[in-house]
Amino acid sequence: MIGVIIFTGVWIATAAAAAEKGDAAKGEAIFAKSCASCHGKTGKGDGAAAAALNPKPKDLSDKAYVAKLEDKYLFEIIQKGGAAVGKSPLMPKAASLNDQDIWDVIAYIRSLGK
Ligand code: HEC
């Protein structure tokens, strides 16, 4: 019983820490403007430009897939682009986004699978 309470507490604290960093609603607007052309409005990888991409972006609304991607990795690929993390250079760096914008976008991406 005590174990369950501790486990639940840790889970809530972890979820809150991730949510604290970014605002998914702001992230949605940034994503629509800067990312949806390739990733699609809801991150499924079906944006207007996606047909021409090889490799195609993975489905960011796949909760199990995105859960395996760490915040640090997501931050880096968005800030520095695919080439900086060993992924395709077709994933551009988001030069116009500041750190908070990037956390907002990450919060949005993490909300997609729900
Ligand atoms: C010009 C098209 C394009 C735009 C614009 C773009 N991306 Fe990407 N993105 C890609 C491609 C292509 C990949 C796949 C790279 C790979 O798997 O090697 C990718 C991969 C990613 C990944 C990595 C997922 C994984 O499977 O590891 C994330 C996260 C991501 N993009 C987020 C964003 C965000 C956030 C924005 C907007 C700020 C954005 N992208 C804008 C093309 C784009």
- Indicate the domain borders of the chain: 2-112
Q: Give the model confidence (pLDDT) of 12-62 as tens digits.
A: 555 555 556 899 999 999 999 999 999 999 999 999 999 999 999 999 999
For 87: left if phi > 0, alpha if psi spans -120 to 50, otherwise beta; the answer is beta
Mutate-to-test residue for ligand 1 from 26, 28, 31, 39, highest number of ligand atoms within 8 A of CB? 39
Q: Is 66 in the pocket of ligand 1 (CB under 6 A)?
A: no
Which residue's CA is the closest to the ligand 1 atom numbered 42?
Answer: 91
> In 3-state terms, what secondary structure has residue 106?
helix
Cα end-to-end distance, the chain, whole Å:
28
Per-residue tokens: 6: 């501790």
Q: What b/e string do you get for 36-58 counting C-beta neighbours within 10 Å, with b at 16 or more?
A: bebbbebbbbbbeebeeeeebbe
pLDDT value of residue 95: 94
Q: Is 48 in the pocket of ligand 1 (CB under 6 A)?
A: no
Tell me what the mean pLDDT of segment 94-108 comes to.
Answer: 97
Percentage of the chain modeled with pLDDT above 70: 82
What is the architecture, at CATH level 2, of domain 2-112? Orthogonal Bundle (1.10)
Q: Which atom of ligand 1 is nearest to the CA of 105?
A: 35
Give dist(CA 71, CA 110) in Å, integer: 10
Which residue's CA is the closest to the ligand 1 atom numbered 37?
Answer: 35
Q: Is 14 in the pocket of ligand 1 (CB under 6 A)?
A: no
| pTM, 2 dp | 0.87
Q: Is 102 in the pocket of ligand 1 (CB under 6 A)?
A: no
pLDDT value of residue 13: 56
